[in-house]
């Protein structure tokens, strides 16, 4: 089943108050852990808990949450069916899915994202002690809840204000590779972008999507089913070819290296960079080493700032940079960081990016 692109609600500014969360999971233990982690944060309020999707749907109009956490596998009404109804009845309500690090969990998570889920959290199979379980859950869940809500609070004055550059009319160099960085909202964004890139695209495409191992294989397969290009999860020594997309493998950094007259993908499990593995910064720096300024980089929706440092290296060599605009981004963290640093040659809505890519790579 292919990914169906869904336009999800965008990050909303908050003028005050706490982020209201409804927790939905059939496991009493998991509900307790989630509630405990959320209640420890002063910016979050747990407004209720439910054990199945049907009960959650009945309570949403009463509790008026800002965000719902949904387990995928539940009795009465599972998380996918509940998500479908939430998108119909409450299209602006944020949803974070809970899934397992299994083949079945990965497939179901990709399905949830295609239905409009905003993000997901994976349940660790063996997290160790209670304290370790709480720490792991806190580290993953809290940032994913907060990423959607921009709070109107005073911020420290920057010593150097952001610089915005005027759009460059054309690249300084011939484009030989397209490098894409994406995170939160990425599967939906890629599902909307990739079908509009032609099979005869004259350059190879490298993609870093922040996802765990196993999940990236399913994402590559789903993109292949809807995309004219050839899409595959990265393997050591895979050759970069025009019209082929190589998606970084979960839990591995992806770089490129010379192999005879070819350039091939290479994988490693070096330390996380920008808190990520795979990291867009690692990939961007690597393509800069091999292709210099003959690179078109694209930073799509995502939390954090992975890709910023790598974009700085690429821009110093004369590469051309596209960034997704804020209204069309699920989270404007990664592209926003690039735009605020004055590194984006063009800032475009998602619907205009494919045509811009084709125009730029064909000169």
pLDDT reported for residue 161: 41
Average pLDDT of the chain is: 89
| Percent of the chain scoring above 90 in pLDDT | 80
Residue spans per domain, the chain: 12-151, 177-361
> Would you say domain 12-151 falls under CATH 3.20.20.10?
no
Q: Catalytic annotation on 210?
A: yes
| Percent of the chain scoring above 70 in pLDDT | 89
Q: What confidence category does residue 239 fall into, taking pLDDT thresholds of 50, 70 and 90?
A: very high
Domains 12-151 and 177-361 in one fold: yes
pLDDT at 188 > cutoff 80: yes
DSSP per-residue codes, 142-207: HHHHHTTEEE----PPPSS----PPPPSS-SS---EEEEEE-TTHHHHHHHHGGGS-TT-SS-EEE
Mean pLDDT value across residues 319-346? 96
- Out of 99, 114, 183, 329, which one is annotated catalytic? 183
Helix H segments across 227-362?
280-291, 308-316, 334-340, 350-361
Instruction: Report the distance separating Cα 49 and Cα 85, nearest Å.
Output: 18
Q: What confidence category does residue 167 fall into, taking pLDDT thresholds of 50, 70 and 90?
A: low
pLDDT at 160 > cutoff 60: no
**CB–CB of 249/215 below 8 Å?**
no
243/9: higher pLDDT:
243
Highest mean pLDDT among 6-15, 109-118, 147-156: 109-118
- Out of 118, 119, 210, 274, which one is annotated catalytic? 210
pLDDT at 298 > cutoff 70: yes
Quick: pLDDT tens for 65-110.
999 999 999 999 999 999 999 999 999 999 999 988 778 888 999 9
Mean pLDDT value across residues 126-139? 79
Strand partners for 102? none
- Out of 66, 306, 309, 325, which one is annotated catalytic? 306
CATH class of 177-361: alpha beta
pLDDT at 6 > cutoff 50: no
Mean pLDDT value across residues 216-225? 96
- Give the strand pairing for 320-324 and 295-299: parallel
Mean pLDDT value across residues 253-262? 96
In a 10 Å sphere around its CB, with 0-12 CB exposed, 13-18 middle and 19+ buried, how is residue 167 labelled? exposed
Q: Catalytic annotation on 183?
A: yes
Mean pLDDT value across residues 228-239? 97
pLDDT at 348 > cutoff 50: yes
Q: What confidence category does residue 123 fall into, taking pLDDT thresholds of 50, 70 and 90?
A: confident
Mean pLDDT value across residues 221-250? 97
pLDDT reported for residue 134: 87
The token pair that represents 300 in the structure block: 């799509």
pLDDT at 297 > cutoff 60: yes
pLDDT at 52 > cutoff 60: yes
Q: What confidence category does residue 164 fall into, taking pLDDT thresholds of 50, 70 and 90?
A: very low
């Amino acid at each position: 089943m292919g990914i169906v692109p869904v336009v999800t609600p965008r990050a909303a500014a908050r003028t005050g108050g706490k982020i209201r969360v409804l927790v939905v999971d059939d496991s009493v233990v998991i509900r307790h852990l989630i509630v405990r982690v959320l209640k420890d944060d002063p910016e979050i309020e747990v407004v209720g808990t439910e054990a199945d999707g049907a009960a959650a749907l009945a309570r949403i109009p009463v509790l008026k949450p800002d965000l719902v956490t949904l387990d995928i596998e539940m009795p009465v009404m599972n998380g996918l069916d509940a998500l479908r109804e939430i998108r119909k009845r409450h299209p602006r309500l944020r949803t974070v899915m809970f899934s397992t690090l299994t083949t079945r969990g990965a497939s179901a998570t990709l399905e949830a994202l295609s239905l409009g889920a905003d993000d997901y959290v994976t349940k660790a199979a063996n997290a160790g002690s209670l304290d370790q379980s709480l720490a792991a859950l806190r580290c993953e869940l809290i940032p994913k809840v907060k990423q959607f809500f921009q709070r109107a609070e005073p911020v420290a004055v920057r010593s150097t204000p952001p610089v915005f550059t005027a759009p460059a009319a054309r690249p300084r160099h011939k484009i030989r590779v397209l490098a894409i960085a994406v995170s939160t909202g990425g599967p939906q964004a890629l599902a909307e972008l990739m079908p509009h890139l032609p099979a005869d695209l004259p350059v190879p495409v490298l993609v870093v999507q922040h996802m765990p191992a196993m999940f990236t294989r399913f994402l590559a397969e789903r993109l292949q089913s809807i995309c004219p290009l050839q899409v595959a999860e990265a393997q050591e020594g895979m050759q970069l070819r025009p019209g082929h997309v190589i998606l970084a493998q979960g839990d591995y950094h992806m770089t490129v290296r010379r192999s005879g007259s070819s350039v091939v993908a290479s994988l490693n499990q070096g330390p996380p960079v920008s808190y990520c593995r795979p990291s867009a910064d690692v990939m961007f720096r690597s393509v800069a080493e091999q292709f210099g300024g003959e690179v078109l980089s694209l930073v799509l929706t995502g939390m954090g700032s992975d890709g910023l440092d790598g974009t700085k290296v690429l821009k110093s060599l004369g590469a051309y940079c596209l960034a997704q605009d804020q209204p069309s981004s699920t989270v404007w963290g990664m592209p926003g960081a690039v735009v605020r640093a004055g590194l984006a040659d063009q800032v475009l809505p998602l619907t205009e990016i494919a045509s811009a890519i084709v125009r730029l790579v064909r000169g």
